[in-house]
Chain A
Amino acid sequence: MSDEDEREMAGEDDQGEGDGTPEGFGLEPTERAHREAEEERYFVPETSEGIQELRPRGTTGAAELRQEVGAVLRLPEGGYVDPSDIDIEERDDQTMIINMGPQHPSTHGVLRLMLELDGETVLRTKPVIGYLHTGMEKTGEELTYVTGGTNTTRMDYLSPLHNELVFALATEQLLGVELPPRATWIRMLMCELNRVSSHLVWMATNGGDLGSTSMLVYGFREREMVLAFFEKTTGQRMNHNFIRPGGVAADLPDGWEDDVDVICETVLARTYEYDELLTGQPIFRERTEAVGNISAEEALALSVTGPILRSTGVPWDLRRTMPYLAYDKLDFDVIVGTYGDNFDRYSVRLNEIRESIKMIRQIAEMMPPGDYRVQDRKVTPPPRARIDESMEALIHHFKIFTEGFRVPEGEVYVSVESPRGELGCYMVSDGTSKPYRMHIRAPSFVNLQALPLLLRGAMMADAVAIISTVDPVMGEVDR
């Protein structure tokens, strides 16, 4: 690319950022000139794809070098590392920058990675995301609190019920409604079943990435049992819109105890088969042990949550440490690892399936009778039969499904433990029936930041396995 082209592209980019403020964010002229110079440096001469690319070694700043070796993560507060102390060889000629994805089958969707390789060893990684961005936070501002569940459920398509749960909890928190106990327990039952199905898909795809096609088939086979129960209860296999503000959409179907019992028994027995298939298998151990290590300090600094954080030995599970729903009434263990490597992440997830099954059995035993949703006609619609006989019920029904209900002004941050980590919802209400701002803190989006650190020094062949153990769901990353 010629210099002219470069300048043109930099110019276009500036226009984009300006957006109505032609002075460019009111920056000081010197600052702005500095920024432009910075941006010009971003362009790699050989590529025309813009500034998200991995820059050549020579142009890497000190801050980036520190981040690359993870030094910035282990610093005491306020401490700084002299960039000349960092032992990084700047050999542009001997390394190779390759592009992986977004169509690579092992990137679990449309994740794209720029990798700098020295032979077979990965040096730098830059995840490039946004290929599945559909503006769901913007869409969320256009949907009412009643219809918003259909939007959030599609973010993390492997654990839709957790997405619905966090949205419903945030709305209820602003509304100040109290749920009947059965609604809470049905939510817990469905969420734990969802955790099982999500971890089963992870087991399956991780097995597939490591070459165990049997695991790929088994994982999806077991998940299908859970999804069949979901279909029976909610009407759909995925994207249920089952957990709604004010309770759940329907009561559990007749004979649900038997279905849940069969799922628990079968999946629990199968997890021991997975043990035989993978856990003790020498090839699997070789490929996973001491691969992709991360320490507890690094994980905390990078805001990594969920099984990745627990695999480093930090017993942080929101169900236990900041209980929501009725998790404080259940007896379960928080699974932790020791080394934070691929194998620990595998065993944390495998054992979490067993813990979830333990919880599901307790929930089934303790399921209280009663209503499955709040009987507040301003929040939940009246029963279908009432509409035929009561004018008031008809009006309430009509109002809820056309205008929705109004939520008092306020803002709230609610978080739950999704299979991938802390799933948060920051919701701002301006007193109307639509959220003013609905921000979802997506665990995979944040966890992806750990990839450059996990991949540094790993072999190219292990990259696929490491991406897999981070368990990114691109629908949630890009939202």
Chain B
Amino acid sequence: MSDTTSSAVTPASVLPDVPRLPDRLVDQLAFPSRGTYKQMIGAFREAGFEMCSDLCGVDYLTHPGRTLPEGVTAERFEVVVNLLSLSLRQRVRVRVQVPESDPTVDTITDVYPGADAMEREAYDLVGILFLGHPDMTRILMPEDWEGHPLRKDYGVGRVPVQFKEAPGPR
């Protein structure tokens, strides 16, 4: 519940001894910059986070005033990575700000090969490009699809649905 207000976790504070939280639903949060993102993911991998359990993109176009720790500038997009440590029985959530003008971020597939499909999904639906990904193609939408459906400026009824054949001339 109160995890948005918990203080930012840096690799330096997390890595030596990761504090255990009593409630498993309150996770550790980390807000690296795009430059330190990959380095931080690597540091978490070495600290015993064996699995990248989830990765998704969020478009904050219509909700810019979200709670962020000091020193983090809100950008339009955010990549949210949920890492899981089986040995520590702990989760950590890494949130990276990605600007609209250059929606690119480093891939983490070489650290966590399991992020492959998730990064493709984030690219497909939100339009965040992962640099260095071995196969940065659409995964759920058709290859020739225009636009990224989970962006907030992509209307729900953008593609009209025709439920039956249009009546022809009689």
Across the interface, do A173 and B25 meet the contact criterion of CB distance under 8 Å? yes
Contacts of A437 in B (CB 8 A): 56, 58-59, 150
Chain B, Cβ-Cβ closest to A76: B46
In angstroms, Cα B167 to Cα A105, docked, is 35
Q: How far is the CB of A373 from chain B (nearest CB, A)?
A: 20
CA distance A371 to B45 in the complex (A): 44
Assess whether B137 is in contact with A430, with CB atoms less than 8 Å apart.
no
State which of A135, A173, A428 has its C-beta within 8 Å of the C-beta of B58. Answer: A428
Q: Is B170 an interface residue (CB 8 A)?
A: no
- The interface residues of chain A lying within 8 Å CB-to-CB of B58 are 428, 436-437, 439
Is A209 part of the binding interface, using a Cβ–Cβ cutoff of 8 Å? no
Docked-complex contact B145 and A449, CB < 8 angstroms: no
Count the B residues whose beta carbon is within 8 Å of the partner chain — how many? 65
With A and B bound together, what is the CA distance between A45 and B34 in angstroms?
38
* Contact pattern, A 18-30, Cβ under 8 Å of B = 1, otherwise 0: 0111000111000
User: How many A-B contacts if CB must be within 8 Å?
Assistant: 160
B149 at interface by CB-CB < 8 Å: yes
For chain A, the count of residues having a C-beta within 8 Å of the partner chain is 69
A78 to chain B, nearest CB (A): 7
CB atoms of B143 and A142 under 8 A apart: no
A441 to B54, Cβ gap below 8 A?
yes
Check B135 for interface membership: any CB of A closer than 8 A.
yes
In the complex, chain B residues whose CB is within 8 Å of the CB of A303: 51-53, 112, 114-115, 118
Task: From A8-16, A274-282, A357-365, give the one contacting chain B.
Answer: A8-16
Q: In the complex, what residue of chain A is closest to B4 when comparing beta carbons?
A: A410
Chain-B contact segment, one of A60-68, A329-337, A396-404 = A60-68
Q: Cβ of A78: which chain B residues have Cβ within 8 Å of it? A: 42
Known contacts being A67-B134, A77-B111, is A129 close to B139, with CB within 8 Å? Answer: yes
Residues of chain A from 396 to 446 with CB closer than 8 A to chain B in the complex: 409-415, 422, 424, 426, 428, 430, 436-437, 439, 441, 445-446
Q: Once the chains are docked, how many angstroms separate the CA of A13 from the CA of B140?
A: 15
Chain B residues within 8 Å of A, Cβ to Cβ: 1, 3-4, 24-25, 27, 42, 45-46, 50-54, 56, 58-59, 62-63, 66-67, 80, 82, 84, 86, 89, 91, 93, 101-104, 110-118, 121, 125, 127, 129, 134-135, 137-151, 153-154, 156
